[in-house]
């Protein structure tokens, strides 16, 4: 599943091709995505895309009338192609641009979404989201205060979008390892100082992943539209049983919240 860095790199990839372009029409071949594609999304026709922004894992194609909200789900991707390019089996939505190109959404599993919000409202899917992890609002004090009294495992806690958005499974594993915090540690038992270390590591890990994707980003025109997980230098994720990069003890792998969790029982307390 695309995580925050992959979505951010998608934003970076499509922005040069769509910002400033007029949407001539939207073609919805299959409205049955995670949620039905609303008829109101046709309000984007005739509008100029002013900006492509991101909130959590949602991309917003912003116009004066409102914003198309796009979520890539588990298998979705965006490509910029010539407007005459024939659609293939899983190409569900096209935005045809005045430039002679189109923005095409492909999603084999159809667990993504295309939604619409008018300029004077916030869609319900964006409400109640926590702060962006790379923003100034995400601090040690904030995370410590939100954790008070919580028995939830810290890994599940930081993966909760109501607490902070976009810390998916890969980056939760990596951040907790770098911070030396055991993933099963109760969130409410972690000191303010250690929360500060964790916040710093979350920011560093995500920023590094975005940088890696940005430096290897290919032109989204005629590309496969999938930044993937880049050539990341992952320390623990997917490496259960391998030597810890710090102490050489075999890394442990368990399930927390049904998600694969890899950690070092010596280095993480």
Active site residues: 2-3, 57, 259
Distance of alpha carbon 114 from alpha carbon 112, whole angstroms: 7
Give the bridge partners for 67, in sequence order. 62, 117
Binding site annotation covers 150?
yes
123 a known binding residue? no
In 44-119, DSSP assigns E strands to 51-55, 58-62, 66-71, 77-82, 91-97, 101-106, 113-118
| Helix (H/G/I), strand (E/B), else coil: 42 | helix
What sign for the dihedral angle of Cα 206, 208, 211, 215? Answer: negative
* Residue 217 token pair: 């980003």
Cα–Cα distance measured from residue 97 to residue 25, given in angstroms and rounded to the nearest whole number: 7
Binding region: 90, 109, 150
Binding region for DNA: 90, 109, 150
């Amino acid at each position: 599943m695309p995580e925050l860095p992959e979505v951010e790199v998608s934003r970076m990839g499509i922005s040069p091709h769509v910002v400033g372009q007029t949407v001539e029409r939207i073609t919805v071949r299959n409205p049955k995505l995670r949620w039905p594609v609303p008829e109101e999304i046709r309000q984007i026709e005739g509008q100029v895309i002013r900006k492509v922004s991101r909130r959590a894992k949602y991309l917003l194609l912003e116009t004066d009338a409102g914003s198309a909200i796009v979520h890539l789900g588990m298998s979705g991707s965006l490509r910029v192609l010539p407007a005459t390019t024939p659609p293939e089996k899983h190409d569900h939505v096209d935005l045809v641009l005045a430039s002679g190109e189109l923005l095409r959404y492909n999603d084999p599993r159809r667990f993504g979404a295309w939604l619409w919000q008018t300029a004077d409202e916030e869609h319900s899917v964006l409400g109640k989201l926590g702060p962006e992890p790379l923003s100034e609002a995400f601090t040690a004090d904030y995370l410590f205060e939100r954790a008070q009294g919580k028995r939830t495992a810290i890994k599940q806690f930081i993966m909760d979008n109501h607490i902070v958005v976009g810390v998916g499974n890969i980056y939760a594993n990596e951040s907790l390892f770098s911070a030396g915090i055991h993933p099963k540690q109760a969130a409410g038992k972690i000191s303010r100082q250690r929360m500060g270390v964790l916040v710093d590591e979350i920011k560093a890990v995500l920023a590094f992943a975005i940088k890696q994707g940005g430096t290897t980003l290919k032109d989204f025109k005629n590309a496969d539209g999938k930044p993937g997980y880049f050539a990341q230098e992952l320390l623990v994720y997917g490496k259960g049983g391998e030597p810890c990069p710090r102490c050489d003890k075999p890394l442990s792998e368990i399930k927390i919240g049904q998600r694969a969790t890899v950690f070092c029982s010596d280095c993480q307390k």
